[in-house]
Structure 1
């Protein structure tokens, strides 16, 4: 897990369209096995509520997550014991940890991505930085640019608190920048940690346990640009068309607040159903720009942010997808949990890995695909894309 794979381009890219030229990822050092999470969490928070413990154990089994990386450690809890005490104002302490942690992970993911890209860091012209795990002025984009040694005239854009849709939203923004600035090379970096919302279990907040069972930490990075340099750059995915849509009246379904105790999130039970009810029309609109219709769902590949197994299951059922169509999303969820905006990078890496094993007679059904994510709003983010490696 976490190994790097090199991919070669076998299709020519449209010089007018932006393409993903490289992918990178990074994680904190703490690897948590799902089977040990319950005992560790209740020990760390000094909680002995057997009912809540049983509830979390059931949730851990239902998420399908087996491993995930986290910034939280015994050292951090020793230094900041107040993080495990109910009701104490700790946003200052959380941001001390989160701001530096997300920057370090973003630097490591970006360096990995730039190395695979194969061009010098000085060739990066734009930076798009995505995070829902920090808050400061100047923002994390400046600290990331400094840590990487980007040129002072690198044009920076921040996307804060976009939640799970942030990675695809950042990709949409990077696509627009690349296509409207000839010769530009955009670094998209995402970085997240759950410490910003870490709290002890409480019977008054049973929904918190869903996050404990599901979410993980990490960072992701991509290089995006149009008109790839022959023999130097290897385009992976061509970004053909992008679409964003929010569902009116759903603002409270994914509800997040910054409080004295950090960030609190609440996901309503109807979230998977709302996504199921609206996903088909969204996908058909996005696919239509390449001449596809709802009859063609299984001709595409599907890179879907794995918000949770219920969302993947409902999407699969609604669109009548073949079981293997969501393999990459399910693998990312199993190996890394829901790492918020980062997770789409992990899904795309698995998608490329699986594309190498596709039979030649099936390649036409896996050339085009959709990159999808769902976030606060409820907001749908989608990109119609072409896999240039199959």
Structure 2
């Protein structure tokens, strides 16, 4: 597995006293890189399926998702060891969890190590751990195995968010913000880790919606360090987390439906999901912004770090909020390079956001957008949002 991280760079903006800030980012991936152009043939070969109608449907979906590359834990070695994963209807949850529990811990440790390296301080300075995953299930949970893998103190206070799906990264950020601001001097490690093996299945005409996931989702891990009152000279704040809120939309429980069964996780994503998000996104953003009296509808004067659930969601948001095309650049790049990696993806979006801010500063292309929104949507349907300041530009 390889690890990648982003350093903070210089910071000319100063964080407000007592407000939580993101102090470092890091990410990690499994070694298997999948090119979208070759995915269809490989998937149908691995699952011994030759249904031309399903193959044509997946080929079409692979183009519409805009994904170019993804990382996955699944490999020829795994399928040789567990051939039952590619057979319809076999009880395989034990086998899946044997693979997933190990893989997500390994990726979470590597992403956290990359993050700690960028932070520049000792793991012993971590006081709290927030761990997010929808790809494992065990007691004790992955939070303990991650703490052990990093050599954290046994007194590190842990919080675990399981099965919150795509909104998990921003939900974890909201929880970490609360911890950091209510425990002066604390440093919170937020780690997310996901693998699609928990839901890998052969194609089936009875489950055409499965092909959307095959064309869209990827694996990996992400990590952030969150704390208030950065130590000057030692820490370089990246984003200030000003306000965070969560909201669920009543009577949408079936729109994103996930079930853990004997055959792993089964997902159903309703067709109306992008429309529901489009119909509710402006009201949610207004609620998030009005907490601090932020000017209404000045959307193009803000940055947008949006979890890229899929291109339809990004397109609908762009249209509803009348955003300039470049506003969702970081989200579209993350989707193209990593697919929808569930809770991890917001880390990749924020990295691209920093990269673009520093590039603008270097090229003297005027002021970047200091204020913006960090957003994600998950089962519930739950909206997660943070009103934030970019401190890197």
TM-score, normalization: structure 2?
0.97
1:356 is paired with a residue of what secondary structure? helix
2:54 is paired with a residue of what secondary structure? helix
What residue number does 1:170 align with? 172
Instruction: Could you tell me which runs of 5 or more consecutive residues in structure 2 were left unpaired when the two chains were aligned.
Output: none
What residue number does 2:129 align with? 127
Off by >6 Å, runs of 4+ in structure 1: none
2: distance between equivalents of 1:367 and 1:12?
11
Equivalenced residue count is 389
2: distance between equivalents of 1:41 and 1:217?
16
Distance of aligned partners of 1:142 and 1:2 in 2 relative to their CA distance in 1, 3 Å threshold: closer
* Alpha-carbon offset, residue 357 of structure 1: 2.5
Report if the CA contact (8 A) 1:162-1:376 is conserved: yes
* Alpha-carbon offset, residue 289 of structure 1: 3.0
* Alpha-carbon offset, residue 285 of structure 1: 1.2
* Alpha-carbon offset, residue 288 of structure 1: 1.8
CA RMSD of aligned residues (A): 1.2
Map Cα deviations across residues 290-333 of structure 1 (whole Å, 9 max, x no partner): 43233310000000000000000000000000000000000000
What residue number does 1:278 align with? 280
* Alpha-carbon offset, residue 3 of structure 1: 5.4
What residue number does 1:156 align with? 158
2: distance between equivalents of 1:166 and 1:175?
14
What residue number does 1:199 align with? 201
**Do residues 369 (structure 1) and 372 (structure 2) align?**
yes
TM-score, normalization: structure 1?
0.98
Report if the CA contact (8 A) 1:284-1:293 is conserved: no
2: distance between equivalents of 1:8 and 1:334?
28
2:297 is paired with a residue of what secondary structure? helix
Map Cα deviations across residues 116-174 of structure 1 (whole Å, 9 max, x no partner): 10110000000000000000000000000000000000000000000000000000000
What residue number does 2:383 align with? 380
Match of 2:314 among 312, 315, 319: 312
Match of 2:69 among 67, 70, 83: 67
* Alpha-carbon offset, residue 5 of structure 1: 3.7
Report if the CA contact (8 A) 1:68-1:336 is conserved: yes
**Do residues 336 (structure 1) and 338 (structure 2) align?**
yes
* Alpha-carbon offset, residue 10 of structure 1: 1.6
2:359 is paired with a residue of what secondary structure? coil
Match of 1:182 among 161, 181, 184: 184
Map Cα deviations across residues 16-40 of structure 1 (whole Å, 9 max, x no partner): 1000000000000000000000000
Map Cα deviations across residues 33-84 of structure 1 (whole Å, 9 max, x no partner): 0000000000000000000000000000000000000000000000000000
2:328 is paired with a residue of what secondary structure? helix
Report if the CA contact (8 A) 1:24-1:222 is conserved: yes
Report if the CA contact (8 A) 2:112-2:224 is conserved: yes
1: distance between equivalents of 2:359 and 2:370?
13
Trace 1:9-88 onto structure 2 (pairs within 5 A).
9-88=11-90
Match of 2:231 among 206, 221, 229: 229
Match of 2:326 among 324, 332, 341: 324
Map Cα deviations across residues 195-230 of structure 1 (whole Å, 9 max, x no partner): 000000000000000000000000000000001111
Distance of aligned partners of 1:141 and 1:99 in 2 relative to their CA distance in 1, 3 Å threshold: same
What residue number does 1:254 align with? 256
1:294 is paired with a residue of what secondary structure? coil
